[in-house]
Amino acid sequence: METWTRKEWETASINYEKSLYYLYTPMCGTCAVASKMMTVIDAMKPDLPIGKADLNYLGDLAVDYEIESVPCLLIMKDGVLQEKVYAFQSVPDLLMKIN
């Protein structure tokens, strides 16, 4: 999972049928657990573009996408936001939401 800028995220969301953007903050304990889950998802879905970013540096994105908390997974399909995931319950649960 690569660290993306907002521009890289928007480019991926346009150029791919589906893309994911994982948003976190470094001091968040829940984000640490979610990051491990996202690492597994990234390994299981090598063809799916997945980026990550520290939300502390993307305040404008937080406002534009109305991010309520972290961790947050933005699921984009055909350039349209499909879902914002805040509850990282398990890897199988995340896979169901992504698929």
Q: Give pTM, 2 decimals.
A: 0.93
Q: Which pLDDT score is estimated for 57?
A: 94
Cα distances (Å, whole numbers) of residue 70 to 15, 77, 81, 89:
26, 21, 17, 14
Q: Which pLDDT score is estimated for 1?
A: 86
What pLDDT digit, counting tens, does each position of 52-86 carry? 999 999 989 999 999 999 999 999 999 899 999 99
Q: Which pLDDT score is estimated for 18?
A: 95
What pLDDT digit, counting tens, does each position of 23-56 carry? 999 999 999 999 999 999 999 999 999 999 999 9
Q: Which pLDDT score is estimated for 33?
A: 96
Nearest to 53 by CA among 82, 81, 33, 31: 31
- Beta-sheet strands, E only, within 1-95: 2-3, 18-24, 50-54, 72-77, 80-85
Please report the domains of the chain, with CATH numbers, ordered by start residue.
Answer: 2-89 (3.40.30.10)
